[in-house]
Every structure is written in structure tokens, then in C-alpha cells.
Amino acid sequence: MESQIQLKQLSTSFCPDLISEGDGAKVRRYIGTHQNPSLDPFLMLDLGCSKLPVGFPDHPHRGFETVSYLLKGSFCHEDFTGRKGELHPGDVQWMTAGRGIVHSEMPMSFDEEASGFQLWVNLNKANKMCAPRYQEIKSAEIPVYKDDTMSAKVIAGEVFGVKGPIEAVTPTYYIDFNMQKNAEYEHVIPRDWNCMVIVHKGALIVQGNGKELTYGHCSVFKLNELQEEKVNIKSLRDDTGFILLAGKPLREPIAWKGPFVMNTKAEIDQAFKDYFEGVNGFEGSRTWKSQNRNLKYGRSSSV
């Protein structure tokens, strides 16, 4: 019975400082720093804000997935295969880089800030060189669970029978909750899954410990390999928003340098060689330049 399921133990809670990323964008980094070095299968998680002229111009990836979830503003995306798209509030882009992607991600306004999350999800050895894939889901297409006190936008995973549309290579929960004041919710986390909660609006407490978490704060929970456990959230303000992120660890060696994440140093060296030579998944990358790079100069992205 669910009432017998124990609460997960907290590992740490913190609010990361703002750091620079990309071409001058400011982000708070929740995974991949001294405060939370790793959370297998997740490599990195940022909550960022940016407006032109800063952004994330042309750069490659190999060996993992990137997940972009926009909270406000607008972002445009373009890759070296000619694929283009835009993200608006509530939209998600789940990109499997696999053997190779070169792309550009830029805000679309000099006046309005775009803000949102970017998550890096590791791929297992068998899928690191898979074909690239996009899952682009508009906000209106993402299923939402609602009751009188809360709503849950289910990007990946499940809440009360509502399942997210994302087909994740690595088993993952990615859910955006919105709760009214004094609302309380418990979510059962499978055994042997890592889990964290990140507040992007309002205030809440986790596991009844009395410590108030506000915008920018997160809580990371201890892994339990033996049994499922639950996370308890109580909202302290109306319109409190938070992300529940959980995933099954891969427990594989990680070799990581810059935009490439593989299992060995030799594979990292090969990734750089392939990229600079424009082969093995990076064909055409050496001569490609994004059109949306022109946005930072106030020119049309079609120039």
C-alpha cells in the first residue's frame, strides 16, 4: 500500500549561483558542479535566462540527449541538416544527439528575456552512436493532470494515469507541477532511481522538513537501490511551480569533454577527430553556418 512507502531521504538542498554559459547567457547549474557533481543518468541541468545578442551559437554534440523546456519568451533552433524550429512558453524539444548534431539555439528578442531549463541526459553505450532524433512537442500537446489544488504537465513519465508523450531512451520522469497554497502531493519514485526537485516559481517544503525552498532552489534525494520511496511536496504559496526530475542510473563509465560525452577517452578523441574532419555523423558540418546566428546582429535569421 502507498501509505507504507517511506519518504526518500534528502541528500542536499541549495540554490546555485548564476554563471555564464554559451555566448554570454546566465544560468543556474543544478547538476555538474561541486554542489551536485552528478546525478546519473543526468549529466547537467541549467535554468537560464537570455535575450539577444547573447545565446548559444553553432556547436556540436555527440553521445547524449538535450532537453529544452521553455518557461517564458521564445527561442529558435537550427541544425546542420537544415532543420529549424521555434520554442514558445511550455514547449519542449527532446533532442537525441546520438552520433552527431551541430546546431544553434538563440533567443528571438532583444527586449524580452527567454527563460527555461536545459537538461542533458546520458545515453547508454549501445545508443551513443544512434541516429539523431527530435521529439518536439508544443505546449498544447503535452497532457496535463488537474484537480482542485494542482496541475501537472507530464513531459515524460506518468501522474495519476496521465502519461507524457516523450519516448525517452533512458527511463525518465520530467514533470512540471503547479500547486495552490497549502496543496500537498506525494510522488512515488521507483527503486534505484535518482531524483530531484527544482523550484521555478513560488515556495514549497519537501519531506515535511520545514525548510522553505523558493525560486532557484532545489532538493536532491538519496538513491535507494532496494525499494521505491516517495517525495512529499507542500506548497506555501499560490501558483507555486516546480520540476520533478527522476531517472534510472546507467552505471557506465563517463568520458566527457566539452560537447561530447562517451565512455572512454579514445571515443572522445575520435569524436573530436570526426567533428573536425566532418565525417562519421558530422558530414557537412565544417562548412555549415546557422542562419539564426544573424539574430544577434539585429538581422533576419533568413540572411
pLDDT of residue 299: 56
Q: Is residue 174, in this structure, part of any structural domain at all?
A: yes
**Is 77 annotated as a binding-site member?**
no
**With contact defined as beta carbons under 8 Å apart, do 148 and 140 qualify?**
no
CA-CA-CA-CA dihedral for 251, 257, 259, 260, to nearest 10: -50
- Whole-model pTM: value is 0.94
Question: How far apart are alpha carbons 237 and 243 in whole angstroms?
Answer: 16
Average pLDDT for runs of 10 along the chain of length 303: 80 95 90 95 96 93 98 97 96 98 95 96 98 98 98 97 96 98 97 98 93 97 96 98 98 98 99 98 94 73 46
Q: Is residue 302, in this structure, part of any structural domain at all?
A: no
Q: Is residue 127, in this structure, part of any structural domain at all?
A: yes
**Is 252 annotated as a binding-site member?**
no
**Is 200 annotated as a binding-site member?**
no
CATH of the domain at 199: 2.60.120.10
Q: Is residue 193, in this structure, part of any structural domain at all?
A: yes
Q: Is residue 183, in this structure, part of any structural domain at all?
A: yes
Question: How far apart are alpha carbons 155 and 110 in whole angstroms?
Answer: 29
My answer on whether omega of the bond before 259 falls inside 30° of 0, hence cis, is no
Q: Is residue 237, in this structure, part of any structural domain at all?
A: yes
Number of domain units in the chain: 1
Q: Is residue 47, in this structure, part of any structural domain at all?
A: yes
pLDDT of residue 301: 53
Q: How far is CA 68 from CA 49, 121, 166, in A?
A: 13, 11, 13
Burial class (CB in 10 A: 0-12, 13-18, 19+), 33: middle
**With contact defined as beta carbons under 8 Å apart, do 303 and 59 qualify?**
no
Residue 33 structural domain: 2-247
C-alpha dihedral sign at 275, 277, 282, 284: positive
Q: Strand order of the sheet with strand 213-214?
A: 184-189, 229-235, 203-206, 213-214
